Amino acid sequence: MEQARKVAMSFFCETIRSRGGIPRLQLVWDGESTTTRGGSSPAFYVFNRMDSDGFVIISGDDVTMPILGYSCSNHFVVENMPPNLLDWMDELRNQINAVREEHVVGTSYISKAWTRASDAIGTPIVKLTTALWDQQAPFNRLSPTTSDGKSITGCVATAMAIIMQYYQWPDQGVGTVPVYTLQADKNTQIPSKTFDRPYVWSKMPVKVDKNSDTDIKDEVATLIYDCGIISKSQFGRKSTWAYYENALEGMIKYMKYNKGTHMQNRATRVMSEWHQMLRKELDAKRPILYTASTKSGGGHMFVIDGYTQENYYHVNWGWSGSSNGYYLLTVMDPSNPGSGSSSGGYTQEQAAFFNLIPDKDGTSAFTDNLVLIRKEVNGVYYEGLVMDAVNIQPEQEFKISIGAVNNIGRSAFDGNLRIALVGKNGTIKEYISEEIPVKYPADSYHSETDCFCKITLPIKAGDRIRVYYKGKYSEDWEYLRGGSLLKSEIILKEEDMPLEKMTSFAYDKKNKKISLKTCPQVEYQVLSLTNNVVFSGITNDDNPEIRIDTSELIDREYVIVLRKKIEDEDEYEEKRIRFAIGNQNKK
């Protein structure tokens, strides 16, 4: 804990607001309980500033990023913590413990972050102003009373309402929400409602509390209740939940929001691409409805309304501003392009709604949105792409089976699938199948589709097979993605690992020998500073190691030059390693 306290102290001392005084910190939570506390140290520590506003969450293991979350304007409130934040922190604990169990090694980026934590968070780039609303009184004034008492609004309804308050839209809902009965309380029926009055946005300010005027509390409570019923919320005193798909459907059907809004899962993107997608939304001044699911099956929704240069995202938990702040979406290196798309235990299921904006003129169009899913049908497991041959060669015919395909769009898909040969950089090199016409109803899956293929181009390192789709709402062919546990592409020829990643340097002080392990078939030279070749050679396939006896060297400094031919190209990759020799007896 002392190391965590030092990092927390350093963080606040190095921030602009803290200059001129030493911050006073209090450990308010370490995430552990009597049931979770074991022999290992806590996964994280939460410190509040006692002399000012602010909190910081420090990781309990230096293999992850040091700062998991922070704020310079709010305290972290442990008592009556919002359920979505509580589960988020529980997942962080699971991720860090999984990293420990798997003995994951931290990157150089993470090591550097621990030396100066304040630099790792980056400068805030975008911060939108969103409502500091809640799930409890006075926001649940219209929520039904069930058999266990007065229900809360639920994180889904509150997050939806926060988005609507930001846009001050709709002017008025449309249509009639039908009656429905609660699943867990058959005695409670939610009555139908026709939207026949406008919303008074001037009476829905960013901050509302128990002391606000009655008309303000009524207006806000009406909006949040309406968000609850259009998403078919299952109301309860301790927990109110709703399906994310119902929330989106309700906003489009009853609240006049963009039909082209689409949900994307984080697991279908590498982390660098996911950051780009989120940043694009926020740069366009569009707050994001964001979801996170736990391994136990629970799920929560909240609002992301800002980000920093180093990919910390500002979260509005929908709990009157309590614990709002900047949080990492993954405990691992956020600069790592692939982190977050791993199948390891230190990832969390997350999704976001993109292009969620008002449809004020009613002209928006649906989007096509297909994904691969893991599905069991009649005892058969479908887990992505399956190829009926190995070691494919040009002009050879083979079959690709695709399954299962899920239409998560809000309308029926009517279009085509097609298989493509894709290069290592993701560029389509050629289509290798005919267009396969398919039709999928909205929110449905199809177990299997077979495509017959033939490649005509030479297969190069990094080439792969992917499936693309194009429907009546698509302008271009879209990559049919799947989660991290699915096979959404088939690698035909493994890409060469670069010298930088495959080369390690070690020095035996006792025997004065350098061991340089690298790739097979690497040309090497040891040069003096005057560029004289001391010796040279080529590494072999069985043991690609270069051994240098420094006791036989005369000069003080040398350079090792490694050259490796890039497969399928007429170019070479080069790496230079400079080393110096200390005082030693020369022969």
Measure Cα distances from 177 to 67, 145, 183, 351, 587 in Å: 44, 19, 17, 26, 92
* Angle separating helix axes 214-230 and 244-253, nearest 10 degrees: 110
Looking at the chain, the number of H-run helices and the number of E-run strands are 9, 39
Q: Helix (H, G, I), strand (E, B), or coil: what is residue 424?
A: coil
> Out of 75, 262, 275, 300, which one is annotated catalytic?
300
Can 75 be counted among the known catalytic residues?
A: no
Where in 499-556 does DSSP place strands (E)?
A: 504-508, 513-517, 523-528, 533-538, 545-549
Q: What is the rounded CA–CA span in Å between residue 148 and residue 139? A: 18
3-class DSSP state for residue 329?
Answer: coil
Q: Is-contact 337 274, C-beta < 8 A?
A: no
Closest-CA residue to 11 (of 113, 103, 164):
113
Cα Dmax for the chain: 98
User: How many angstroms separate the CA atoms of 209 and 215, rounded?
Assistant: 12
- For 106-124, the DSSP string reads PPHHHHHHHHSHHHHH--E
User: Which helix or strand (DSSP H or E) is residue 227 part of?
Assistant: helix 214-230
How many angstroms separate the CA atoms of 31 and 46, rounded? 8
The residues facing 384 across adjacent strands are: 403, 487
Quote the CA–CA distance of 221 and 142 in Å, as a whole number.
Answer: 6
C-alpha span between 541 and 545 (Å, rounded): 10
Yes or no: say if 563 and 523 are a contact pair by the CB < 8 Å rule. yes
Phi then psi for residue 370, to 5 deg, are -110, 145
Distance of CA 35 to the CA centre of its chain: 29
C-alpha closest to that of 513 among 584, 436, 456, 420 = 584
300 is annotated as an active-site residue: yes
- Sign of the CA dihedral 403, 408, 414, 416? negative
Beta-carbon count within 10 A of 56 CB:
30
Residue 371's nearest CA partner among 233, 480, 291 is 480
Q: Which two tokens stand for residue 547?
A: 């051994």
The single-letter code of the amino acid at 240 is T
The catalytic residue among 72, 155, 227, 519 is 155
Question: Which distant-in-sequence residues (6+ apart) come within 8 Å of 159 by Cβ?
Answer: 289, 301, 302, 303, 318
C-alpha torsion angle, residues 223, 206, 127, 325 (rounded to 10): -90
What is the spatial distance between Cα 462 and Cα 465, in angstroms, rounded to a whole number? 10
156 is written with which tokens?
Answer: 């889904």
End-to-end CA distance of the chain: 53
Q: Is the Cβ–Cβ distance between 338 and 275 less than 8 Å?
A: no
- Point out the residues that are catalytic: 155, 300
